[in-house]
Amino acid sequence: KELLFLSFAGMVQKLDQKLPVANEYLLLSGGVREGVVDIDLDELNVYARGTDYDMDFTLLVPALKLHDRNQPVTLDMRHSALCHSWLSLRLFDEGTISKWKDCCTIVDHINGATNYFFSPTKVADWFYDSISIVLSEIQKKPQRGMPKVEKVEKNGTIISIILGVGSSRMLYDIVPVVSFKGWPAVAQSWLMENHFWDGKITEEEVISGFYLVPACSYKGKKDNEWRLSFARSEVQLKKCISSSLMQAYQACKAIIIKLLSRPKAISPYHLRSMMLWACDRLPASYLAQEDYAAHFLLGLIDDLQHCLVNKMCPNYFIPQCNMLEHLSEETVMLHARKLSSVRSDPAEHLRTAIEHVKAANRLTLELQRRGSTTSIPSPQSDGGDTNQPDDRLAKKLQQLVTENPGKSISVFINPDDVTRPHFRIDDKFF
């Protein structure tokens, strides 16, 4: 069995050779809706675990790479809010500019020069159209063993694909990004501070690269503005967080996803930032206590409450950026009151969150049971025995993620042979 979404990227590269030939994709466990990356889009459709999908992942696909610099990367942040930037193609060669002109906004200067700014919205439109062409070709020539494509939707600048793999449904949020080696100049001062990961992992591991993701600020220009993302660094930092604190984070995340979903204000990414700040602030000996998960849960709730009341949540890598600055007083106080109810009886709210997960799992099993007796061959299947679905691929991918917590999982694809994806977990290849 082959992972169809990986084949997509290779096939898209072959359409018009826009994507880098030697590309590296970062695969993250959890979807964009789970707060895996710092993207908060109003256009995201609501999908429910159990009803729409069983497992979810985020795939960062570099449309452009700038990997040849050994100095801090200076971005054009004159027109945008903190943590955001425009991207001029002047940083790239003429061949790259020629390839991507149609995905840029054009600014003509008084001196007659023309500047092409890479547009996140136009790049997302191009990527969605390209994936649609690839899917159409696949459907014309179905191949044996290909997963069933159950849904393909464009959610703002994110492309969401739900695949039926055996009896499992896997959601992939595909994010077109710009990939950089090194570290942005705007976050250089953060490296000068003391951090909880000092001496546990090397600085080279933490600052190996960053991304621009297609999300603008609340007052920014959607066609031009990208958001800085430190997803690769965050994967490395997770290695240094104790299992009990991670348990508390997962529990707190499960509570706030339901409780603080309306109006949209707080995401799991805010919670993760607060957890990283707590790791810097609190003694390592305290955070290493294996039986302190309950203490840590209460601490995370208190920190979140404090952030809401003060309307202040600094970005971990760029502290001068307040991620709650745009919220109204009414919104932060509403969520602060909701959190007060959690703080008064956290066990009850946690039980409710667990029941939601159990209900989703029961629904998944029921749908799988029905599917095993009433399944209809997919137009992309070979029409063979669908009563005995093969879940090996889904299980293999889930196993890769769950058995390698805190590790960077990347995928390499040879566009001339899209049938063979190549996984790298940290520095080991599979």
Containing domain of residue 26, as a range?
1-238+405-429
Per-residue model confidence (pLDDT) at position 135: 80
Residues with Cβ within 8 Å of residue 347, at least 6 apart in sequence: none
**Domain containing 21 — which CATH number?**
3.30.460.90
d(CA 109, CA 115): 8
Q: Within this chain, do residues 38 and 111 fall inside the same structural domain, yes or no?
A: yes
87 and 232 both lie in a single domain:
yes
- Listed residues 328, 344, 360: the one ending a domain: 344
Whether 296 and 282 have beta carbons less than 8 Å apart is answered as no
Residue 366 falls inside a structural domain: no
Q: Do 350 and 341 touch, CB atoms closer than 8 A?
A: no
Please report the pLDDT score of residue 374 as a whole number.
Answer: 37
Q: Is residue 378 part of a domain?
A: no
One domain for residues 225 and 335: no
C-alpha closest to that of 43 among 163, 222, 179, 260: 222
Q: How many domains does the chain have?
A: 2
228 and 261 share a domain? Answer: no
Shared domain for 234 and 245, answered yes or no, is: no
The answer to whether the CB of 44 falls within 8 A of the CB of 52 is no
For the record, the structure tokens of 128 come out as 């969605």
How distant is the alpha carbon of residue 202 from its chain centre? 24
Same domain flag for 191 and 327: no
Q: Where are the alpha helices (DSSP H) in 17-145?
A: 94-100, 120-140
Which of 355, 314, 306 shows the shortest CA–CA distance to 335? 306
> Could you tell me if residue 99 is inside a domain?
yes
Q: What is the per-residue pLDDT for 375?
A: 34
Sign of the CA dihedral 394, 395, 397, 398?
Answer: positive
**Token pair belonging to 329:** 């007083």
| Residue 362: inside a domain | no
pLDDT at 242: 93
In a domain, 360, yes or no: no
Q: Please report the pLDDT score of residue 388 as a whole number.
A: 32
In a shared domain, residues 32 and 92: yes
Give the span between the Cα atoms of 65 and 22, in whole angstroms.
10
> Please, what is the end-to-end C-alpha distance for the chain in angstroms?
16
* CATH number assigned to the domain comprising residue 315: 1.10.1410.40
157 and 203 together in one domain: yes
State pTM to two decimals: 0.80
- Angstrom distance (rounded) from CA 317 to CA 228: 10
Same domain, 184 and 286: no
Are residues 274 and 163 located together in one domain of the fold?
A: no
Q: Compute mean pLDDT per 10 residues along the chain, 430 residues long, and list them.
A: 57 81 83 86 80 90 79 82 91 87 85 85 94 80 73 92 84 93 91 93 91 92 95 93 91 81 79 95 93 89 92 95 92 89 78 68 66 37 32 48 53 46 48
Q: What is the pLDDT of residue 262?
A: 67
Which phi-psi region, left, alpha or beta, contains residue 191 (left: φ > 0; alpha: ψ -120 to 50)? alpha
